[in-house]
């Protein structure tokens, strides 16, 4: 099925309005972009959108109730829900620093779940 | 009375950057006062990315941005060059540069030769924009809701309508959605959002949240708790178009309608804010969101470094 989709490129603050021809979810042509990054953005965003997840996990026995975490890199947008459920079940019981790995190879997505702040005992 | 070269009030990015830069410019007797248990200010609750692209050339979360500055402060080994005092709530400032603060079980008065105020901003509340209707529970400012979720770990509502489409409102739309609440609408009276395109895409469109431009909340309805809001379209002069009114059921309304600098202490000292970081009293400075409301923590940090330098130069002059 051939469709035209509109996207705003968010690679830089210019925010070019892209018009993308797609055929069964595959990008066929792009217009409206002012640079090559727009093309890459549109292709990624249409074919496999990726997002960084930032959320909090429960802390136990530490001076904070919640500890902010993130994925060390972007994960498929379609996996966000599953990822947040997994983060919700995670607990931190030992002091951490920013970048301490909480879960290695989080959900087999090739990224780690890492803390984003320090918390001492 | 205890005397100090420089007192910095507020341990957000502004206060930390100002203290660090004053130190780098030769001030070696600095007291940094923060009312919270931790340094970092509002950044601690801004767990999303979007910080640091200019200052650190990396896309950091708020806590990571704060952490970078905290590490620099801790790395200063010279004894008491920057003394950080947490849980220290400043309640008074005088034109003679006397700072009064409360610490658990203590009441302290310190006089400094120079003062930098970096107390941040507060949110405009529902009381400051006219929304008729009931006054039930369930109405929060967006930043307060952010603190409840990200710091306290509890969700203030299940069905949410957000008033205002600035970045904080948009960020909270995503945060509530990820936490399992249903964001029923973001309602914006203007014809477009002041927020970043990236936030419109990743916080609202990603989750198919309806964003109503040129609409306003006509009434909030609810007995004990919010039950619904009445929404109405407005024309280009912001006049209501009554025939367009419709209801949205919800238990929570978030108000995200802007920030105002926190300047009570400066006013108490009889000072007024002047050009970048200065006030009408020589030697009393104001930086970061208490000087003016900034969009980016990066710009806060850059300008607050200037405040530290300005204070250091003032101290050399007197
Ligand atoms: C909800 C929200 C979301 C944001 N999102 C982004 C974003 O995505 N990207 C970005 O770049 N910027 C963002 N910003 C802006 C950025 O975070 C702020 O501009 C920046 O943190 C302001 O720094 P500050 O140090 O001036 O104020 P704050 O961080 O507010 O720090 C002020 C500090 O002063 C302390 N204080 C106040 N009064 C007293 C007193 N009387 N005694 C002792 N201590 C006191 C407070 O406890 C606080 O720690 C956001 C801001 C808010 C409010």
- Tell me if A58 sits within 8 A of A69, measured CB to CB: no
Which ipTM value was assigned to this complex? 0.91
pLDDT of residue B131: 78
Among all chains, which residue has been given the structure tokens 């607990």?
A91
Q: The whole model's pTM is what?
A: 0.94
- DSSP assignments along B133-180, one per residue: B---B-EEEHHHHHHIIIII-----SEEEEE--SHHHHHHHHHHHHTT
Token code pair at residue B148: 């409840």
Q: What are the distances in angstroms from CA A97 to CA A115, B75, B107?
A: 7, 15, 33
Instruction: Say if strands B215-222 and B252-255 run parallel, antiparallel, or are unpaired.
Output: unpaired
In B, minimum Cα distance to A119 occurs at B38
Residue A44 forms contact with B (CB below 8 Å): no
Chain A residues whose CB is inside 8 A of the B59 CB are: 52
Does the structure show a pLDDT above 80 at B186? yes
Q: Which of B38, B19, B179, B134 is nearest to B83 (CA)?
A: B19
- Shortest distance, CA B310 to any CA of chain A (angstroms): 31
Q: Does the beta carbon of B29 lie inside 6 Å of ligand 1?
A: no
pLDDT digits over B140-170, tens only?
Answer: 999 999 999 999 999 999 999 999 999 999 9
Cα atoms found within 13 Å of the Cα of residue A69, Cβ hemisphere only: 28
pLDDT, tens digit, 9 for 90 and up, residues B32-69:
999 999 999 999 999 999 999 999 999 999 999 999 99
Q: Is the CB of B315 under 6 A from ligand 1?
A: no
Cβ separation A56–B70 shorter than 8 A: no
- Could you give phi then psi for residue B91, rounded to 5 degrees? -115, -10
pLDDT per residue as tens digits for the range B77-99: 888 899 999 999 999 999 999 99
Going by their DSSP bridges, the two strands A17-23 and A2-8 should be labelled as antiparallel
Q: Which domains does chain A have, with CATH numbers?
A: 2-47 (2.20.25), 54-115 (3.10.530.10)
pLDDT digits (tens, 9 = 90+) for A50-88: 999 999 999 999 999 999 999 999 999 999 999 999 999
Residue closest via CA to ligand 1's atom 20 equals: B297
Reported as half-sphere exposure (CB side, CA atoms, 13 A), residue B92 has a value of 10
Tokens of A27: 């990008």
């Amino acid at each position: 099925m051939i469709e035209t989709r509109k996207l705003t490129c968010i690679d830089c603050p210019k925010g070019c309005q892209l018009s993308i021809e797609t055929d069964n979810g595959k990008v066929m042509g792009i217009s409206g972009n002012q640079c090559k990054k727009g093309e890459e953005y549109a292709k990624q965003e249409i074919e496999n959108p990726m997002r960084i997840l930032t959320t909090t996990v429960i802390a136990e026995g530490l001076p904070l109730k919640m500890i902010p975490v993130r994925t060390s890199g972007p994960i498929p947008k379609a996996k966000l829900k599953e990822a947040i459920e997994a983060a919700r079940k995670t607990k931190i019981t030992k002091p951490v620093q920013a970048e301490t790995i909480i879960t290695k190879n989080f959900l087999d997505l090739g990224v780690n779940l890492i803390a984003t702040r320090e918390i001492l005992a | 009375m205890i005397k100090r070269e420089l007192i910095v009030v507020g341990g957000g990015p502004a206060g930390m950057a100002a203290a660090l830069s004053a130190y780098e410019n030769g001030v070696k007797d600095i007291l940094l006062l923060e009312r919270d248990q931790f340094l970092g200010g509002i950044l601690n609750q801004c767990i999303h990315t979007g910080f640091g692209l200019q200052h650190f050339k990396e896309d950091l979360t708020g806590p990571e941005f704060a952490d970078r500055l905290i590490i620099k402060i801790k790395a200063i080994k010279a004894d008491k060059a920057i003394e950080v005092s947490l849980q220290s709530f400043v309640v008074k400032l005088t034109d003679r540069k006397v700072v009064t603060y409360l610490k658990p079980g203590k009441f302290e008065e310190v006089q400094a030769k120079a003062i930098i105020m970096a107390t941040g901003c507060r949110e405009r509340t529902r009381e400051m924009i006219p929304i008729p209707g009931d006054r039930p529970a369930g109405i929060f400012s967006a930043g307060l809701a952010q603190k409840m979720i990200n710091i306290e770990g509890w969700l203030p509502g299940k069905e949410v309508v957000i008033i205002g489409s600035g970045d904080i409102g948009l960020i909270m739309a995503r945060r509530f959605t990820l936490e399992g609440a249903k964001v029923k609408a973001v309602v914006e009276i203007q014809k477009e959002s002041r927020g970043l395109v990236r936030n419109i895409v990743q916080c609202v469109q990603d989750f198919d949240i309806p964003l109503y431009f040129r609409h306003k909340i006509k009434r909030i309805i609810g007995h004990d708790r919010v039950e619904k809001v009445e929404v109405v379209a407005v024309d280009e002069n912001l006049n209501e178009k009554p025939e367009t009114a419709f209801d949205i059921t919800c238990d929570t309304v978030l108000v995200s309608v802007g920030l105002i600098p926190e300047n009570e202490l400066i006013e108490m000292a009889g000072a007024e804010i002047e050009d970048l970081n200065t006030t009408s009293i020589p030697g009393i400075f104001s930086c970061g969101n208490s000087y003016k409301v900034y969009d980016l923590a990066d710009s806060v940090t850059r300008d607050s470094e200037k405040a530290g330098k300005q204070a250091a130069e003032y101290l050399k002059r007197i």
